[in-house]
Amino acid sequence: MSIEQLAETARAMVAPGKGIIAIDESTSTIAKRFAGVGIDNTEENRRAYRELLLTTPRLSDYISGAILFDETIRQSTRDGVPFAKYMSENGIIPGIKVDKGTHPLAGFPGEVVTEGLDGLRARLEEYARLGARFAKWRAVINIGEDIPSGTCIDANTHALARYAALCQEQGLVPMVEPEVIMDGDHDIDTCYEVTEVTLRSLFASLYEHNVMLEGTILKASMVISGTTCPEQASVEEVAAETLRCLKSTVPATLPGIVFLSGGQSDEAATAHLDAMNQAGPHPWPLSFSYGRAMQQAALKLWAQDMAGNYKKAQETVYARARDNGLAALGQWKQAA
């Protein structure tokens, strides 16, 4: 695929008023989500739940793409239509999570590195055949006493860059996700410092690996107070500090930035995105790639009555997509 085609896909992923729904939870992660609402973690229940999300009527009004898990991209609707095909026919770009999760970084207690580069070229080739047009790799940066180390940050951003180069080789848009974790008692200033260093390392690595930024999407965490910090930053402060950090580190040639919700409440994730876009215009579109903040309310409804609440759960998914789509335009507060 040419850089023009990669760039076209990347731009479509951050089309005005649209964002990404992340439904790429691993089998173990979705087991925890299901357990929390009393659903058995069977393959059929996982398939049925992903179908509920992806077949929400008019989802493409506000959703440009969806990130799938390996199991999901091989599954089909109850009518036998492969999910990737269904998505493409209904205006949603199929994406795929390709990392193999985090593992302890040897010699650095409390720090992790994401693995999955071994055999990645062949896996990406297969995912492209299955219909994927973009991929996602998540790195995890923890904040704590004397961490993160420079070694941890550089190891993770180096892996992100290698992954991104392999994606573009196979014609897939890489979504690079260096998540600075919210857990901890750190304040917003500490989060700013760590996020800034991480993003500078990331874009240096992408440059060194000849990754074409025009065909790359950044999935960023917001600059925010730690979950147990006594002083929680306001919506306006989170928006201002996140924008200041991004403008000092992210090249303007990038087609767009999507935010992860990272454990924020549904409304907080939407409010922060809305506030950032109200402060625009910016060098790049700012949109969303939310998982829990898009799904949690619908999952609770569906769990109560899988057949009886199916339509109501889909209506909840659509409402969350609409709210975040409006926030991606800076119009949510006015519409609320």
Query: Taking 90 as the threshold, does the pLDDT of residue 95 lie above it?
Result: yes
* CATH code given to domain 3-335: 3.20.20.70
**Cα–Cα distance between 165 and 135 in angstroms, integer?**
12
Find the catalytic residue in 111, 177, 179, 241. 177
Top pLDDT among 333 and 182 is at 182
Which residues have a Cβ under 8 Å from the Cβ of 136 and sit 6 or more positions away?
Answer: 22, 24, 67, 95, 96, 97, 98, 99, 174, 175, 177, 219
pLDDT (tens digit per residue) in 60-91: 999 999 999 999 999 999 999 999 999 999 99
Share of the chain above pLDDT 70, in %: 99
- DSSP at 105: -
Query: Taking 90 as the threshold, does the pLDDT of residue 336 lie above it?
Result: no
User: Which two tokens mark 25?
Assistant: 């939870």
pLDDT (tens digit per residue) in 211-259: 999 999 999 999 999 999 999 999 999 999 999 999 999 999 999 999 9
Q: Mind giving me the DSSP string for 172-185?
A: -EEEEEEEE---SS
Supply the pLDDT for residue 3.
80
**Cα–Cα distance between 183 and 187 in angstroms, integer?**
11
- Tell me, rounded to whole angstroms, the distance of Cα 30 from its chain centroid: 16
Q: What pTM value is reported for the model?
A: 0.96
Supply the pLDDT for residue 188.
98
- 151 pLDDT tier (thresholds 50, 70, 90): very high
Supply the pLDDT for residue 2.
77
What integer best gives the mean pLDDT of the chain? Answer: 97
Q: Please state, in angstroms and as integers, the Cα–Cα distance from residue 8 to each residue in 2, 214, 236, 335, following that order.
A: 10, 9, 33, 30
Cβ(247)–Cβ(283) below 8 Å: yes
Query: Taking 90 as the threshold, does the pLDDT of residue 330 lie above it?
Result: yes
User: Which two tokens mark 74?
Assistant: 């091989």
Supply the pLDDT for residue 22.
96
What sign for the dihedral angle of Cα 76, 125, 112, 146? negative
Which residues have a Cβ under 8 Å from the Cβ of 156 and sit 6 or more positions away?
Answer: 113, 114, 139, 140, 141, 178
Give the three-state DSSP class for 159: helix
Supply the pLDDT for residue 292.
87
Helix 27-37 to helix 292-304 angle (10° resolution) is 50
pLDDT (tens digit per residue) in 193-206: 999 999 999 999 99
**Cα–Cα distance between 290 and 296 in angstroms, integer?**
11
Find the catalytic residue in 219, 231, 237, 311. 219
Pairing status of strand 134-141 against strand 93-97 = parallel
| CB atoms inside a 10 Å sphere around CB 7 | 18
Query: Taking 70 as the threshold, does the pLDDT of residue 114 lie above it?
Result: yes
Query: Taking 70 as the threshold, does the pLDDT of residue 302 lie above it?
Result: yes
Cβ(24)–Cβ(282) below 8 Å: no
Share of the chain above pLDDT 90, in %: 96
Active site residue 219: yes
Supply the pLDDT for residue 334.
74
Pairing status of strand 112-114 against strand 102-104 = antiparallel
Q: Of how many residues is the chain composed?
A: 336
Domain borders along the chain are 3-335
Q: Please state, in angstroms and as integers, the Cα–Cα distance from residue 87 to each residue in 10, 44, 58, 80, 164, following that order.
A: 17, 19, 12, 13, 23
144 by Cβ neighbours in 10 Å (0-12 / 13-18 / 19+) ranks as: middle
User: Which two tokens mark 50?
Assistant: 């992903």
- DSSP at 21: E
Supply the pLDDT for residue 140.
98
Supply the pLDDT for residue 263.
86
Query: Taking 70 as the threshold, does the pLDDT of residue 1 lie above it?
Result: no
Supply the pLDDT for residue 308.
96
